[in-house]
Chains A and B, each alone.
Chain A
């Protein structure tokens, strides 16, 4: 068999892999339990049934990275969770000395890029092997640390990181198709840069990122009391209804009714909670003139929660 035929056959064999690398899709499930944020992936039951994303490809040449990295992604409550395991035969040589908000990508670190559905701006989250954090928006925009968490753990032949990013940072709920990437900077011996969705020039090439596809949640699933707390807080923060010709007494009555109404939130399902948050966060990005529509939608969701009471479906855990 001549070399050209062998090359052609090899190309055919490799083509599907390359195609996969070009169009990486992550199906993101709703987790059945909340991950314990301590950096330990292997013994965390929350990650047990979650299939890892991978393999990672080297920047520029697109070859499979060695050593490899595995990422698990899932939704719990109001946050997106990542569990990243970086295989590392030379754990002792890991470089991680910088502090929060410094240039952590110059050390052994994991980077998460996220472009929510409908957003023009993407977010960058970096965690070094010592658990220090950096965040930014788009290339070059650096911000003080936002309200997100990361914990790392070093084992004999790998280091791992668990990351919790609240959806509030994106003003978007886990629904539909987002784009993003998970990348690794390795600074031991020979420097190497790899990522889940193959990149050619830099990790910031958002057009080359993979698709983060949120699987539908079981809308009728119980919702955590934490998430209900967030929903309450968000509802509280909304501007009040200004109705022409309504007396002060009536407005006070309305507020009292609203307080009573909040008890309905105890009956929210996961679907309700996300629908409410989606409405409120979506509203913040739109015109204030849409307040009335927002109010109607949130009222409807709360109405359904109240109705569910009559079928004895109290969901808050």
Chain B
């Protein structure tokens, strides 16, 4: 390449160009100002739509927090064996090890388009998870090993590794985007998830000429990190040659994040016993770790664990795992396919007194087991999305659960026009409504007036490739509408329906009923594989955690005798009052900016200078 040609690359806008010694290829790097977005970066996306004067990675985060960053690589020629690695982040007195920066490739693959996808999040019900039968290339998976999924012009191919770690280890790619299921015989389908492995760290990947390759950084701030600015870089390498480096700055904030809201939950099913067999609880642990790391501090507890073993050994084992991982002192939400603990009711068949007694006993047994783990209250799930008489028919069961000391919750609806919602049928007895759709202040007020709670789901359901929408709708929005929390459907559908979902959870073209696969993550042999939307969800929870910290700091400062603090409290309360009466989907264009404003206010309330000194 001539000098002038190289120069032309260099001066092409605000992009960064690296040409390492002895390396003729040039890699352009486009850091993204807003990693969590519904805008999709595909191989051929015009990056001018995303570019700005971003010249470095700047991250603000609190101790213990995960924070994302992202950039896109592009070359003029095919390039093999490229990788990226973070250097140590050096602070004034301390350092953060490179292991705190996890780097993954954002994989674009064929997914069902869903019905109604849009970039912006509307201020109304939005659930683009209905199956459309239209294949679309979508960025979704976060992979250390880019070759785990191969994508051609029409299909996805999933890499299965058999006999991993043994001399007989072999790999096989299977077609995973055919309508009707993954291209495997039934006996293999039952266990194919056992052969899906991602690497624990980034594996060198290939760049195709004039195609974008997005990388995703997750920066984990250690719990004990001292506040201050830490500086380092992310190096782009090919073999041993460093093609270039992107400066990275992390400011660790002197803020302690608080829990986001009362109920930070999501529907969750036990890892499939058919698939995982004796490793079922190990996978349960991995998934619980992943849920906690993404701000779901109290996932739904699978009913399966309390109904399949009368001795409740499974329940005990699962609770032990949850406790070990830090889920303590929170209510237990028991939910799964066996609703009302498997005591079926309908508007046409009354439940018998002996059945009610049996239900009470079962409830008491479960409460006793929960008591061993100091769980303050246990909620039992009723019939899912029941309406009218079907909803009302559960009253005897719910009364029995109450008499035994339990509480009840179920997904349901608000009143709309002529249609009466859950409150009209069971507002006096249903302790928590997991309310479908866009939140409603009036509905929240009704449930609170009865001393009950209301959470949100299906706005949207899991699996829509809209990271920013999850951030918006399961974060600050719930606070604005006085909701008590989040509980959308579903963490991943692999374990939901063993005969259908588990078999094809890696194939979006085998719809469950009429929906896309509801995967916030994808199951693998040993844990799960994250997605962009799951990272977006976490940012939503984190927004709510910053908000909780701001509310608490404002309250504390209001009681201060220091006039400066009182003044800061006044400004923070003004901000909060304005935010509270609004709707972020209507009023707030930039969620990252909203986060910065909250940080700014918290720091002022703490008497901290928000302009951190460079070191």
Contact = CB atoms under 8 A, between A and B. Distances in A.
B54 A310 contact: no
B590 interface: yes
B251 A311 contact: yes
A300 B52 contact: yes
A216 B614 CA distance: 25
Given A175-B13, A213-B11, A312-B611, A306 B52 contact: no
B599 interface: yes
A310 B34 contact: no
Contacts of A300: 33-34, 52
A297 B51 CA distance: 8
A308 interface: yes
A219 B53 contact: yes
A235 B572 CA distance: 28
Interface string A265-285: 000010110110000000000
A271 B251 contact: no
A271 B610 contact: no
Nearest to A302: B593
B60 to A, nearest CB: 6
A289 B590 CA distance: 21
Interface in B5-21: 7-8, 10-14
B611 A314 contact: yes
B33 A303 contact: yes
B220 interface: no
B596 A306 contact: yes
A149 interface: no
A266 B362 CA distance: 65
A307 B58 contact: yes
B593 A311 contact: no
B60 A307 contact: yes
B434 to A, nearest CB: 30
Nearest to A298: B52
Contact of B54 (A27, A304, A312): A304
A175 B51 CA distance: 15
B505 to A, nearest CB: 36
A245 B249 CA distance: 40
A176 B593 CA distance: 31
Determine the interface band of chain B, counting residues with CB < 8 A from chain A. Answer: 35 or more
Interface string B577-603: 010000000110110110010011000
A300 to B, nearest CB: 5
A304 B613 CA distance: 17
Interface in A88-145: none
Interface in B80-114: none
A310 B251 contact: yes
B442 to A, nearest CB: 20
A299 B590 contact: yes
A89 to B, nearest CB: 37
B355 interface: no
A310 B4 contact: no
Determine the interface band of chain A, counting residues with CB < 8 A from chain B. Answer: 35 or more
Interface in A287-317: 293, 297, 299-301, 303-304, 306-314
B53 A275 contact: yes
Name the residue among A213, A246, A274 with the largest chain B CB count within 10 angstroms: A213
A213 B5 CA distance: 12
B33 A304 contact: yes
B414 interface: no
A161 to B, nearest CB: 27
A309 B53 contact: no
A311 B249 contact: yes
Nearest to A254: B587
Name the residue among A215, A303, A310 with the largest chain B CB count within 10 angstroms: A310
Contacts of B4: 25
B591 to A, nearest CB: 11
A315 to B, nearest CB: 12
Contacts of B11: 175-177, 213-216
A311 B7 contact: no
Given A275-B53, A300-B33, A303-B590, A310 B10 contact: no
Given A219-B53, A297-B52, A303 B593 contact: yes
A306 B593 contact: yes
A177 B13 CA distance: 10
Interface string B48-68: 010011111010100000000
Given A214-B11, A300-B34, A310 B53 contact: no
A263 B52 CA distance: 19
A146 to B, nearest CB: 26
A309 B610 contact: yes
B58 A309 contact: no
Contacts of A312: 611-614
A137 B581 CA distance: 55
B229 interface: yes
Contacts of B611: 309-312, 314
A297 to B, nearest CB: 7
Interface string A202-228: 000000000001111001100000000
A250 interface: yes
B218 to A, nearest CB: 19
Given A216-B11, A250-B587, A308 B58 contact: yes
Contacts of B229: 311
A310 B596 contact: yes
Contacts of A311: 58, 229, 249, 251, 611-612, 614
Contacts of B58: 304, 307-308, 310-311
8 contacts: A220-B55, A253-B578, A269-B53, A303-B34, A303-B590, A308-B58, A310-B599, A312-B614
Interface of B: 4, 7-8, 10-14, 33-34, 49, 52-56, 58, 60, 229, 249, 251, 578, 586-587, 589-590, 592-593, 596, 599-600, 610-614
Interface of A: 25, 27, 175-177, 213-216, 219-220, 246, 250, 253, 269, 271-272, 274-275, 293, 297, 299-301, 303-304, 306-314
- 3 tightest Cβ-Cβ pairs between the two chains A and B: A312-B611, A271-B53, A275-B53
